Structure 1
Amino acid sequence: MMGITASTRAAASLAGLAMLGTGTTAAAQARREPETAISLSLDVRHDSNVARSNAASASARNLSRADQRATPAINVVVSRPLGRNMLSLNASAGYDFYRRNKRFNRERLSLGSAANVLAGPLTVDLAATLSRSQSDPGDLAPLLIPGANSLRNRSTVQDYSGSVRLGSSPYGLKPMASFGYSQGNNSNELRRISNYRSTRYGGGVSYDGPALGSFTAQYLRTDSEYPDRPATFSQTGFSSDRIELTARRELGSVLTGSAGISWISLKPDIAGSDPSLSTVGWNVALTAVPRPDLQITGAFARDVSPSLGTDALYQVGNTYSLDATYQFVREQALTIRGSINDRRFVGAGRFFGLPLTDSVQRFVSASWSFNQGRPLGAAIDVGYQDRDGNGTFFDYSSVYVGIRTTYRI
């Protein structure tokens, strides 16, 4: 499966690096230890519907819905404390080989890095993430132009962020400033109209304390544009103002949580048919370890962002995920995952044909891993996903089964 496996794991690891960049500095440094892990992996799977469409739509695009994919990859995890500073890197490089739909053959890259640097009275947190792969057809609005090969598309998403806090003590109230830049690019010429650029900046205050945890309150301004959209489009960008409050705390050895809430006011660059938006954004992440052999993680969020897969002005997304891992014995574990991705695409037009305005994607998977901790390990994966869109044309379902092997160097 193109979307739920490697991309989901990469997103989780990159999110962890980003959290290191903005979380509690003293607590993060106290817990992190030097680490270097290098592994080789091979993921082989059968997917019943790689086209993410019904049979008629796949046939019109000369696609085989059922296909097999092999992805060899190298994975690197490094973290290094340098005095009071911390550097982290999480990277993966692989290549997808499809047996039937060879047009989907493409590199699969992910990179996450974070740095926490103490410079005199300043604490500087930096984070950078990058992901590149063949776009999952389920994330692309179908392009209904005869003969157009619009599904062969490399999507590349980059994000760079940082914050600066003033104060020599690891604890207490500190003024802070935040900044960031992100961009998304499509390789397919017809889809470059969705390439975006976003800059964000703002400031506020942060608080770190051993008893209460970590808090931030700040204002953020984000300016987003689609530089490759022609003049015929009514909108080429939007701006948003956000006031947000975030918190992170460990509640003993059993529960760790972070949460944030924000008020978002969004306006298109040009007043017109695409509406402005005022809404509440939020995110909650909880990890519970009720017993040594069981870990449960939940993540829930609502946010507004540019859309790389459609011609919409922006998307409003609600995501919900729940994971549970049970360690049967020392070397075997079962992980069950479920998620819902509910998106509304505002300002979607008819450049691609039928406009995709609403999408609800559901994922559920199970993974049994064994030989954990040994140089050679393996896992068996099974999963199911489907989508309900605004019209049956966008609906699909898919089942996959695969095996992953990992060799730790």
Structure 2
Amino acid sequence: MRRVLGVLAVISVLLGACVAWGAEEPIRIGYLATLTGEGSTWGQHEQDGAVMAVEEINAAGGLLGRKVELVIYDVKGRAEDAINAARRLVTQDKVVAIGGTNYSSLNIAARPIIQEAQVPMIGSATTNPVVTVNPDTNEPWPYSFRICFTDPYQGLVMASYLYQKLGLKTAAIIGDVGSDYSEGMKQYFIETFEKLGGTVAGSWGFRGGDVDFRAQLTEVKAKAPQALAMPYFYKEMALTIKQAAELDFHPVFIGGDGYSPNMYEIAGDAMEGSWWVSHFDYDDPVLQPVLEKYRKRYGKEATEIGNVVFAYDIIYWIADAIQRAGKAEGPAVRDALESTKDLKLTHFTLTLDPKTHNPLNKPAAILQFRKGKPVYVETWQPQVTF
């Protein structure tokens, strides 16, 4: 397990020269990010966003008169690494809260650890409902939170946008059969599309790590659906689009928040006209101050804007909870997180639903790929009554 602390140790020394810290131990906040392996572009940007936020908080005087120390572990996109990292954070590093991961399955795997230790954890793009809600009781897991919307909502947005906005009546869907994220979104897409009156021509599957989707695409093409829904991650979605074009198959593509602008490196112009459900309008003026800070801090442009902002806002949400709790202890911070109301963050104003530990009424941004880049089209809140 690689512990990413070198840069942060330097930051702490520099800030220590400017801020008169008390004799108390620093307040430690953990962060779990996929820094290597599949999805590392997301995790690296989340690390960057979290570091920026902690630097700013310390420069402003820390929390409760104490310095904040950020402890980051690379979970490599794997459940076993997330479990081990969460265990180290709560037993050795004594963190009071944890940010990350951006994978539902990893947060679900780590949940028993944080529950037992009574340390709250906030997922970034962890959209599966089970991350925060016990499906057996319909009650929230006490120490599990998220800053994003959920898979059912994404599936509903994708289906309703195709049917109600674009007027498409037939669709097919391909999913990762080993992914909680993909399976949850697929289920709600199919249910919503059919209830609206659409026809789902079929559902096809693959296993994470697969790189050849031609067999599935050949069968999908034979059904001639108007649209193809892809509730999975960016590498596989990019390969799906690229290989569909090679088969001369050009449906309307739509995908969820597993999307990445870096997909263009794989799929190229075959992405033109594709639709994406996003947590953000990447050109939204409210994001620009954070992105400008990113450019100054790291000397480059952020390519995974959403992950930078998610992590940055998670740290500020935790900081707000610690301040309102008046003490840096897991149960008190948990209570403060659950009671969050009208907290102005970078990308939205957060009020938490205590019954689900999800943000209330968080809208979805619809993007379309045009001339080599994603373009914001509109904010979409489905008009669905069933």
**TM-score normalized with structure 2 length:** 0.29
**TM-score normalized with structure 1 length:** 0.27
- Which of the two has greater helix per residue? 2
- Which of the two has greater strand per residue? 1
